[in-house]
Every structure is written in structure tokens, then in C-alpha cells.
């Protein structure tokens, strides 16, 4: 899992309103239930969004991002977008490195959150282990 400055995936640029080659703060974590990874979460925050209300995201450590997102009434969540990830997608390839066996299909949902006009993009990839819940 990764945290720090990185280049967003190509399909994230337009959603965030940033240009290709621009770096952003990226946070990747796995959500574990009963010792089994069930969700891979990938969050992208443009550097410009780090000023102001989003600046605490870089100090979350192991605390869930959801606590920050859903406990602040000023944060607006845009509609969810669902997608089946193809093997060529960077998130698919990244997730596969952490799975014991190759998944034939990975579903993901993406949410854009806005605080004071500044975006934060969260993509959750549902891992095969989630079917056992």
C-alpha cells in the first residue's frame, strides 16, 4: 500500500480537474475483515486541495478516511460511479499484487467529495474476499 505524492491514474485527471504529469497526494489502504482483505481503497487529493479543510488527510495514519468524510457536514459527496476494472487498469494491476490468487473480475466504485470547492477522489475496489461476508 502506498501513501504520499504520486501521479494520479489517467482516468482520475479529468475528475479532479488536474493536468497529466501533475502530482497529487495518494493514499492506498486495504480494509480487512476477519483477517481477510475485502476492499482496496485508493484516494487522490490534488496538492491544491491540501490547503484548508483537507489538510488533515495527510495525518490520518491508520485511522479510516471515512471518519473524516462522514463526520463533517460541510463535505459534499457527489453521485457514486460503478465500474468493472479491466486487467489493463493500474488499480487492477496494483490490487492483484496483494491477492493470493488472480481475480477474474474486480468491481469498483468511485466517489468525489468536495470541501470548499476542493475535490478528493475515493475509489474502492471490492476484493474477492468480500463475497464471504
CATH of the domain at 66: 3.40.1410.10
Domain total for the chain? 1
Domain that holds residue 95: 3-132
**Band (104; pLDDT cuts 50, 70, 90):** confident
Give the C-alpha separation, 92 to 83, whole Å: 12
pLDDT at 56 over 70: yes
pLDDT at 25 over 80: yes
Give the C-alpha separation, 46 to 27, whole Å: 12
**Band (61; pLDDT cuts 50, 70, 90):** confident
Amino acid at each position: 500500500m502506498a501513501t504520499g505524492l504520486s501521479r494520479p491514474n489517467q482516468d482520475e485527471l479529468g475528475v479532479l480537474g488536474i493536468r497529466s504529469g501533475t502530482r497529487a497526494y495518494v493514499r492506498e489502504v486495504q480494509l480487512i475483515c476477519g483477517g481477510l482483505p475485502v476492499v482496496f481503497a485508493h484516494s487522490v487529493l490534488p496538492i491544491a486541495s491540501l490547503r484548508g479543510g483537507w489538510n488533515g488527510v495527510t495525518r490520518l495514519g491508520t485511522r479510516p478516511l471515512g471518519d473524516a468524510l462522514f463526520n463533517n457536514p460541510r463535505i459534499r459527496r457527489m453521485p457514486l460511479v460503478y465500474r468493472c476494472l479491466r486487467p489493463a487498469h493500474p488499480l487492477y494491476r496494483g490490487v492483484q499484487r496483494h491477492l493470493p490468487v488472480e481475480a477474474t473480475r474486480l468491481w469498483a466504485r468511485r466517489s468525489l467529495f468536495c470541501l470548499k470547492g476542493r475535490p478528493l477522489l475515493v475509489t474502492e475496489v471490492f476484493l474477492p474476499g468480500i463475497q464471504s461476508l
